[in-house]
């Protein structure tokens, strides 16, 4: 299953992405953006998990109204 999104990108970033596709490093812009997003989410998932655990522990120890 796929979803379509609309994104506004800086021209320089879009130019670099198009160059990657032109030189064969990615099949197309869609694949390049999906891979970039996947890698970003993978690299930040540990940080997010740690933040949520810390917030839960803080709430458990001190509570919040």
Encode pLDDT of 7-65 as tens digits.
999 999 999 999 999 999 999 999 999 999 999 888 877 777 777 777 777 777 776 65
pLDDT in tens, 36-45: 999 988 887 7
Contact 20/26 with Cβ under 8 angstroms? yes
- Please, are residues 32 and 20 in contact by the beta-carbon 8 Å criterion? yes
- Given a contact cutoff of 8 angstroms between Cβ atoms, the answer to whether 21 and 32 are in contact is yes
């Amino acid at each position: 299953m796929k979803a379509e999104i609309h994104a506004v990108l800086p021209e320089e970033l879009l130019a670099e992405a198009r160059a990657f596709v032109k030189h064969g490093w990615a099949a197309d812009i869609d694949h390049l953006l999906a891979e970039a997003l996947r890698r970003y989410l993978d690299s930040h998932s540990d940080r997010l998990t740690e933040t949520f655990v810390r917030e839960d522990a803080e709430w458990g120890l001190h509570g919040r109204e």
